Structure 1
């Protein structure tokens, strides 16, 4: 079963960086393995890869600049599980629909480094710390020769926000020669009011003159981007991509936020064993 294509990043704060690594996991890790596999080996092989990536991401909170970080990359995949960075997917049996279509199912979990603490920016001084946590849920993908459509549901099982997120994504991968994969993608991510309120709300006890109380409501973010893989040979590859997310009004209206979009770019190298 091929790995699901990436959905929309969970845009909470420092989660921009962590979610982008998750995009590397499902968006670039599997294609690297696919390029190097011989036909018919996909179901039986186990792949390992190690690498290093550089991420530059813009967070939505006022007064916080770009976060530039070097990140170690680890991938493991077989017919039952796909692990890359902070995300793991347990693959369920897939359903073939004709010669060129397939329904893939999986149980997913990922660590999300969302949140902030006092001192991260002046607008956050006096705010109670907001924590990231572990999210888990399910994913289904309709894969075809024309487009891949993915739907994912995640819940905050760590109990910090007690929120839920539902995402829908569309992606199309083009293979250019024997070395290059290019994948433009678009998507939407619905976050419930508990998620938005936890990360972007301002409690009455936290309100001040320039930071009035604010109760978050459910919101839908829109995301678009492109990612790619260049394979030098079956062992060495370069991963790259960029994406931009348009924040929903319910997030932009928060007194903690001073922008309408966030963005991330990344570049990585992987060695496949």
Structure 2
């Protein structure tokens, strides 16, 4: 059995293509456009312009889209790594949703906690536990994720992703609950319990002019029973998509 060490001496066995959900042969920096539901469970969408950063620094610190972290312990070949991550969670403006008008806004939050990445011949497995460090929801999440390289070619690199996320009661109640002060004749008070979401999707990279890249992705999340039963939820399947362009830096 390989012992952990903070400084691995052997040559790294990291598969850069499945190290993150987005295939990556080198660091990526650019700008993108994301489309996501306007509010929790909505069937209407909003577009956000976001910077794209998918990079490692000293093979220890990293930024991956809305997540940043540091690896603290490694196996010798670095195929098994344990670290600490911080991840952004978008809130929403209540006025933007048909069923949320008159409610309080849900604030942008940062979730922080330990994570583990294990790369195998079958693909990459990720596990992380995070808690709301912003104090808005005081919620917690536990996420398991599997990343598999589907296409590796000079013209296209494509990864598939499967995920399972458990959200505790405070998390679900913040984003899907309806407080007594927010209830109305058409929107009853609702206390959301804990539950499990399912996710699946693809991420792709198309090289352009040797050093530039066109990025794209599409995902769908199946809400848990507790989330779907909320009076503010309009559809159980929640899509998310993005396109972006990266340049060398």
TM-score, structure 2 normalization: 0.85
One of 153, 161, 183 as aligned partner of 2:129: 153
One of 240, 243, 252 as aligned partner of 2:228: 252
After superposition, the Cα gap between the structure-2 partners of 1:196 and 1:89, relative to the gap in structure 1 and judged at 3 Å, is same
Aligned-residue offset at 1:154:
0.8
One of 13, 29, 47 as aligned partner of 1:50: 29
Aligned-residue offset at 1:196:
0.4
Aligned to 2:84: 107
* Deviation larger for 82-91 or 198-207: 82-91
After superposition, the Cα gap between the structure-2 partners of 1:63 and 1:143, relative to the gap in structure 1 and judged at 3 Å, is closer
Aligned to 1:38: none
Distance in 1 between the 2:215 and 2:90 partners? 22
Aligned-residue offset at 1:5:
9.2
SS at match of 1:173: strand
Q: Contact between 1:111 and 1:133, CA under 8 Å: does it hold in 2? A: yes
Aligned-residue offset at 1:4:
9.4
Aligned to 2:171: 195
Aligned-residue offset at 1:96:
4.1
SS at match of 1:195: helix
Aligned to 1:237: 213
After superposition, the Cα gap between the structure-2 partners of 1:77 and 1:62, relative to the gap in structure 1 and judged at 3 Å, is closer
* 1:27 correspondence with 2:21: yes
* 1:227 correspondence with 2:203: yes
Give 1 or 2: higher helix fraction. 1
Q: Contact between 1:3 and 1:82, CA under 8 Å: does it hold in 2? A: no
Q: Which runs of 5+ in 1 are unaligned?
A: 7-24, 34-46
Q: Contact between 2:158 and 2:203, CA under 8 Å: does it hold in 1? A: yes
Aligned to 1:269: 245
SS at match of 1:27: coil
Q: Contact between 1:234 and 1:272, CA under 8 Å: does it hold in 2? A: no
Q: Contact between 2:15 and 2:119, CA under 8 Å: does it hold in 1? A: no
* 1:82 correspondence with 2:75: no
Distance in 2 between the 1:251 and 1:63 partners? 11
Distance in 2 between the 1:241 and 1:192 partners? 27
Aligned to 2:145: 169
Q: Contact between 1:105 and 1:140, CA under 8 Å: does it hold in 2? A: yes
| Cα-to-partner distance string for 1:124-175 (whole Å, 9 max, x where unaligned) | 2321232121111111011012121111111001101001000001111145
Q: Contact between 2:156 and 2:204, CA under 8 Å: does it hold in 1? A: yes
Q: Which runs of 5+ in 2 are unaligned?
A: 1-11
Distance in 2 between the 1:141 and 1:113 partners? 24
After superposition, the Cα gap between the structure-2 partners of 1:105 and 1:253, relative to the gap in structure 1 and judged at 3 Å, is same
TM-score, structure 1 normalization: 0.78
| Cα-to-partner distance string for 1:78-115 (whole Å, 9 max, x where unaligned) | 21211244321112231147xxx821222111222224
